[in-house]
Structure 1
Amino acid sequence: MNLGSTINTQYGEEGVFLHPDGKTMYFSSEGHNSMGGYDIFKSVFQNGKWSPPENLGWPINTPDDDVFFVISASGRHGYYSSFRDDGLGSKDIYQITFLGPEKPPLLSQEDQLLASRVQPVKETLLAPPVAIASAQVTILKGVVTDEASKQPTEATIDVIDNSLNQVIASFQSNAQSGRYLVSLPSGINYGIVVRKDGYLFHSENFDLPAGAAYSEVMKDIALKKLDVGVKVVLNNIFFDFDKATLRKESTGELERLQKLLTETPALRLEISGHTDNVGKAEYNKDLSQRRAKAVVEYLVGKGIDKGRLTFAGYGDAQPVAPNTTKAGRQLNRRTEFKVTGK
């Protein structure tokens, strides 16, 4: 699809690059009032259309050709080809470091108020803070392995919008190294599902509010083969606060569990609920049991034989991380299943 006259001109447009945030496009053009030859421009997709291209200006652009611009996911460094006087001949490759807006100069560090000759009153003036814009995207990367052999493996990775229960991207980890990299623009509750024939699926959750700053997350994933005693955490099952009511964002994960049970007729599972250690142990155990029961009732309501399912609430008795940190407590608040028969 031609992007139209907002982006394209009667002159040449080259070297398009879409930032991992999914909405910022960089390209080179001989039009749009360039400084000469090709200049680098930026346009942002918002409200269903591309914004008028913005010339990145001097010192990035020159009167000669500046092309094939790319930028890191963090938005801090850019790389491109440019013809400059300090080059080694014709076009050379350059790196740009974006420092953010320049602070206004502070001409006087303090204001002298002459209250007396002996002890003047001094008022310190601080330079106003200058915010440096960062890309609103999270980079998730790591290695997919076989849990038993520890060897890297190729697997399918689905990126899901939990609020819509919709797969928005699907790709493979590297067959030789097992490595993967996912770009997650802010503003979506993401489910990440890693799956491979002969293995139980693995899920992760990243709820990224709009405006969440750039970050990189390392997450190695060990896939487990279907065997009695194996446990899998269901990271995309959500409940209302302090209740056993399943939220609609849980639908995709529940459907994956239903599909696993349907495709493996002999499979039997224990669904278990777990909490952190905040609150009374008796209450936590009761809440975790009611939540596990809610998952079983959903599956039975979808046609799964209730004889294949059991449920249990363990409260805070089986932590997987220390309860001394917020991150640890979050890991301990979970729903999981254990294979009891196959």
Structure 2
Amino acid sequence: MRIVFIWTEEYKKLKDFQTSFCGEFNIKYSHGKLDISKNNLYIENFFKVNGSNIKLNLSAIVGENGTGKSTILDLILDYIENGMFSNKYIVIFENDGDLFIDCNFEIFEIQTKEEIKYEIIQNESLDKYLKHQVTMFFSNVFDVRYFTHSEDIQVKENKRISFIPQIKNISTNALLANYKEAENFLNQDISKQIFFVNEYKSILEVEKLVKVPEKIYLKTNSLEYHYENLSFELEKFISAFDYEQVGSLHFNLNTTNALKEDVITVLTQSFCIEIGYLLQSYNLDDLLFIETYNNAKSRGNFFVIIHKNLMKVIKELESENAILKSIKKKLNGICKSYIELLDLIDRLSIEEDETV
């Protein structure tokens, strides 16, 4: 099942817009008339990969900057998430040569020149058409308009599907939206680049293209301005790390280097802040973090303790599987990143530069 044609009366800056995503059919809508015919120039399996049974079709949206390429992608995403538009629209699906036409108005005439089977699915459930549809959205363009985008709200408003659409949004905007401050995203992105280069520099022969630094300089800074929306209790819990030997007390690390100890302290505080905001993003009390730590039966690696026990506490308050899966996925990602970063810091040789 795939989307092969879209027409909309109006969407953002697009007016009376239509586009086809299939070379097999010629589809055109004009003044109440929908024409559908076979494309005689269509070459079947043109993109077939030798030795593969996967049916591959490619469509490209080409145009100058500002002509609406990104808006077309927004149009498709909005339809998948909401199942409809407020303005008039036509969306056509194709499956095994049969066409399924979804629209929110009466099309006066549908003309087909060959024996093309089609079915009108106006107001019907879209489950069987989108159930196995996986949409991956990638864009490295930074655009502040996406920060008001709430996927959870849109899914709940979609009454034409009974499941959460499989949308993998790996765009820069989506990644940034997971962080309260863009600086946090940039800092984590830098750490990921360090891990990547360290892991694959020999395989990818990175040093043939660029000189990899032999040393990494880390500078700690206060995280107080990140406490703004956290509870007073969690803020107090996080601030207490400033007065502890965090490395030895919470991670069983023998840290005699004062600078390394400072780095581990800030790393731990950053972890607490990120988990606190994760809980709040799902309307959960950030005090669950403190409760999880205090009730843990064992001590050791602080990150592992939270990772191991927090979901148990959350499951007592939240029963919806989709939400639990979403929380678990994000929690796994956060904990994995911090555990790996702590391990790297522990192995690094950090020199204290007294001249700075």
Same fold (TM over 0.5): no
Q: Which has the larger radius of gyration?
A: 1
- TM-score of the superposition, structure 2-length normalised? 0.26
Higher helix share: 2
- TM-score of the superposition, structure 1-length normalised? 0.26
